[in-house]
Amino acid sequence: MDYRVAVDHVSKTYRLGKVGVAALDDVSFTVATGEFVAIAGPSGSGKTTLLNLIGCLDTPTAGEVLIDGESVSALSSGGRADLRARKLGFVFQTFNLIPVLTAWENVEYPLLIRPRGGDRRARVSAALEQVGLGDRARHRPPELSGGQQQRVAIARALVGEPALVLADEPTANLDSATGRDIVELMRRLNRERDVTFVFSTHDPRIMSAADRVLEISDGRLR
Ligand SMILES: Nc1ncnc2c1ncn2[C@@H]1O[C@H](COP(=O)(O)OP(=O)(O)OP(=O)(O)O)[C@@H](O)[C@H]1O
Ligand SMILES: [Mg+2]
């Protein structure tokens, strides 16, 4: 069994005062190492909640999430932070770059928090080259197009050599041609570098690039 991710009977209920919002209801699936998997579903169906649980940013109300066989809920918050830093990369819908830093500095940032072996400068340059932005290293985010900003964010996600990249609607703020380019880039990195990807999307054309589409509605897998 070579699963990168196992989601095992996971439920998540958010408490708002006396009211409980059931965001996920008994969700189970696995993602094999090297897969490129889409999570699709309407707004409010639970996609972000699910990616946050897989990304160790939150813990389930019931059930468990395993990353490489390791139960996330069994870890302390420090242990989860460590697992995130060792194994995971994140890409967000709104890119989430630091506007005052250059593309190069944005990509370098995770390595300052959590140093890796090897030459930091070489790693950052290689990550920017991989996303086709070697010539934009000195640009700040406002001096880049949306697609280029998302490429910087993908380079930042990859610079720590994660086993798993989680991307929450990575193409939602891009025009459809640029969105397709970004998914093709993710797909190429998935194949060439054997990085497992789990990403959410509303867009059927983006879904069609996936090995497998997990459809979610009202917090349940269909
Ligand atoms: N922090 C929170 N507190 C309370 N309820 C929340 C919280 N986060 C999400 N929810 C609720 O949980 C449900 C699932 O939300 P989630 O953000 O996971 O949906 P989504 O599929 O990502 O939607 P979208 O496509 O709009 O991003 C929604 O009903 C939402 O209102
Ligand atoms: Mg969402």
> 1 falls in which pLDDT band (50, 70, 90)?
low
174 CA to centre of ligand 1 in angstroms: 22
Sheet with strand 70-71: strands edge to edge: 19-32, 3-16, 62-67, 70-71
The pLDDT score that the predictor gives to residue 75 is 93
For residues 52 and 60, give the distance between their C-alpha atoms in angstroms, rounded to a whole number: 10
Q: Where are the domains of the chain?
A: 3-221
Q: State the average pLDDT over residues 100-126.
A: 92
Residues 6+ apart with CB under 8 A from 156: 89, 97, 106, 107, 109, 110, 127
Is 1.10.600.10 the CATH number for 3-221?
no
Handedness of CA 62, 37, 111, 98 (dihedral sign): negative
What pTM value is reported for the model?
A: 0.95
Q: What percentage of residues in the chain have a pLDDT greater than 90? A: 92
Residue 115's pLDDT band, with cuts at 50, 70 and 90, is: confident
As a whole number of angstroms, the distance between CA 167 and CA 88 comes to: 11
Q: Whose CA is nearest to atom 14 of ligand 1?
A: 46
Segment 105-114 mean pLDDT: 92
Per-residue pLDDT tens digits for 8-34: 999 999 999 999 999 999 999 999 999
pLDDT digits (tens, 9 = 90+) for 60-74: 999 999 999 999 989
Instruction: Tell me the two tokens of residue 221.
Output: 């897998």
Ligand showing the shortest atom-to-Cα distance for residue 44: 1
pLDDT tens sequence across 176-202: 999 999 999 999 999 999 999 999 999
How far away, in angstroms, is 160 Cα from ligand 1 center? 29
Does the C-beta of 23 come closer than 6 Å to ligand 1? yes
Beta bridge partners of 166: 90, 198
Q: Is the pLDDT of residue 55 over 70?
A: yes
Q: What ligand 1 atom has the least distance to the C-alpha of 14?
A: 4
